[in-house]
Amino acid sequence: MLWRISYFLLWQIAGGGLGLWQGGPWGAALGAALAAWAWFVWDLLRGARVLRWLRTGDLSEVPSMRGIWGEAADRARRLLRRQEALIRDSQDRLQEILAALQATPNGVVLLDAQGRIEWCNQMAANQFGFDAQRDVAQSIGNLVRDPEFTAYFSGQDFSHDVVLEGRYSTPSRPVRISVHLHPYGDGRTLLLSRDVTALEQADAMRRDFVANVSHEIRTPLTVLTGFVETLQTLPLTAEERSRYLGMMAQQALRMQSVVQDLLTLSRLEGSPPPGMAEWTPVQALLTRCEEEGRALSSLLTQNQQQTHVLQFPSQEVLRLEGEVAGVPTELQSALSNLISNAVRYTPAGGAISVQWLRKDDGSAVFSVHDTGPGIAPEHIPRLTERFYRVDRSRSRETGGTGLGLAIVKHVLQRHGATLDIASVLGKGSVFSVTFPANRLRGFVLPG
Ligand code: ADP
């Protein structure tokens, strides 16, 4: 301010001095008046320059000047800089929050007080079929047409969630989305959505499983109690008694097998996958499989005119095959199970061939080929489900529990191996197990 007054006085003195020199005391007064006007106009122009710059606020073109206008411009520049930094900072934070919301595995939609979309993440866009950019400002009620959602949204009772059909849900691939609305701020709503398809499927599977187990146990139990009642109430001959007791033993054995298989499955699920510490010779594994397969075949065909034609790899070949990593009992039971199925489902006279082949990539394939009834394509993907059977009566006749392939799949998964099933109805089936190269060792090249 002192500078400003000093400048004004300097202009006055210069104007007055010039006037005095040119025209005496009147000249001095006129000179001072003109100098005051000139200073006023000069000052006005400087102020206008600062004002013009303030209108654009362009920090790269800050007017450089001294005095009060220079200071005003400088202070404004500093304020603008600070403001800009603050804006940049909050924009960065907003972007970080939006990026975090994008990264959540759940759908997030921000709705304004009128129920219009303000922002939504990609997950929500996928679940509801929105376009994350185009559908901004669209009313959620127009985009999600499910009557359940409409009732939920208009009901304004957001204490619970609602489960809707996903946008791309089909009967063969159902998608179920749980939607929960949370009010916040001044009338705004946060919509959170979650894909609950797997959860609902697991729940349905659990219910099916409990129903299946109950059924599998209840059926032989009903038969057993029926026989007990008969034995208790009817006067039977010794021969009848022993026949009934034989049938009771059969039912008890059936229950025992189901319980045994269920325990095996739960043990497999509950224990960590086997490491690479334990190794089993392929020769021992397949020799045991052969013994069990032949024993089962002769048991099943003992009263028949024909037997099975069984073929296994020769001991000479197996001797060169080295070892496979894993728990011997588990591997043994899985491979034997495939052979036992082939024997059980192939009628007498049919052929069953077991092979062990090394591939060029170092992996090995164990396969069981049979000339049994074959399996229709629609059943193949479901064979490893618990209690899934194509032919219930045939499975029971031969002592099947419907859990065999589920156990096989589990054991193989734990050992890094895969199961492939190929079958032609009426011709036969091939069950192949591929062991990866890293779980095999000690293979000796023939020759
Ligand atoms: P199960 O104890 O009933 O044999 P699995 O889980 O071992 O149960 O097999 C499931 C179903 O797959 C069987 O019930 C049967 O219908 C079918 N299956 C398995 N192996 C064969 C095969 N080699 N030939 C024909 N059907 C088979």
Q: Taking residues 27-39, what's their average pLDDT?
A: 89
CA distances from 298 to 198, 254, 340, 341 (A): 45, 21, 12, 14
Between the CA of 341 and the centroid of ligand 1 the distance, in Å, is 6
Query: Does residue 255 come out as left (phi exceeding 0), alpha (psi in the -120 to 50 range) or beta?
Result: alpha
Q: Taking residues 158-179, what's their average pLDDT?
A: 90
Mutate to test the pocket of ligand 1, among 253, 296, 336, 345 (most ligand atoms within 8 A of CB): 345
Reduced to 3 states (helix: H, G, I; strand: E, B; else coil), residue 185 is coil
> 232-252 pLDDT, tens per residue?
998 889 999 999 999 999 899
Residue nearest to atom 11 of ligand 1 (CA): 389
CB burial class (10 A; 0-12, 13-18, 19+) of residue 330? buried
For residue 407, pLDDT over 90 is answered with yes
- Would you tell me how many other CB atoms lie within 10 Å of the CB of residue 189? 20
Domains delineated in the chain: 2-98 (no CATH), 104-195 (3.30.450.20), 200-271 (1.10.287.130), 276-447 (3.30.565.10)
> 34-74 pLDDT, tens per residue?
988 998 998 899 889 889 988 888 888 888 888 888 888 88
pLDDT of 447 reads 64
Residue nearest to atom 18 of ligand 1 (CA): 341
> 282-329 pLDDT, tens per residue?
999 999 999 999 999 999 999 889 999 999 999 988 988 999 999 999
Is 88 or 394 the better-scoring residue by pLDDT?
88
Q: What is the mean pLDDT of the chain?
A: 91
Pocket of ligand 1 contains residue 292 by CB under 6 Å: no
Which spans in 271-357 are helix H? 282-300, 315-319, 328-345
Nearest ligand 1 atom to the CA of 390 is 16
Pocket of ligand 1 contains residue 372 by CB under 6 Å: yes
Nearest ligand 1 atom to the CA of 396 is 3
Alpha carbons 300 and 295: distance in angstroms, whole number = 9
Mutate to test the pocket of ligand 1, among 390, 412, 423, 429 (most ligand atoms within 8 A of CB): 390
Pocket of ligand 1 contains residue 383 by CB under 6 Å: yes
Between the CA of 259 and the centroid of ligand 1 the distance, in Å, is 18
Cβ contact 152:181 at 8 Å: yes
Pocket of ligand 1 contains residue 428 by CB under 6 Å: no
Cβ contact 122:132 at 8 Å: yes
Is 304 or 391 the better-scoring residue by pLDDT?
304
Place of tokens 């219009």: 116
Mutate to test the pocket of ligand 1, among 335, 341, 384 (most ligand atoms within 8 A of CB): 341
Alpha carbons 6 and 280: distance in angstroms, whole number = 104
Pocket of ligand 1 contains residue 391 by CB under 6 Å: yes
Mutate to test the pocket of ligand 1, among 405, 409, 424 (most ligand atoms within 8 A of CB): 405
pLDDT of 11 reads 86
> 261-285 pLDDT, tens per residue?
999 999 998 888 888 889 999 999 9
Q: What percent of the chain has pLDDT over 90?
A: 62
Q: Taking residues 163-183, what's their average pLDDT?
A: 90
Pocket of ligand 1 contains residue 16 by CB under 6 Å: no
Pocket of ligand 1 contains residue 341 by CB under 6 Å: yes
- Would you tell me how many other CB atoms lie within 10 Å of the CB of residue 423? 21
pLDDT of 359 reads 92
Which spans in 120-176 are helix H? 122-128, 140-143, 147-155
Nearest ligand 1 atom to the CA of 388 is 10
Pairing of strands 440-441, 176-184: unpaired
- Band the pLDDT of 181: cuts 50, 70, 90: very high
For residue 116, pLDDT over 80 is answered with yes
Pairing of strands 309-311, 351-358: parallel
Pocket of ligand 1 contains residue 429 by CB under 6 Å: yes
Which spans in 57-121 are helix H? 67-103
Alpha carbons 91 and 97: distance in angstroms, whole number = 10
Alpha carbons 201 and 328: distance in angstroms, whole number = 33
Pocket of ligand 1 contains residue 327 by CB under 6 Å: no
Residue nearest to atom 16 of ligand 1 (CA): 390
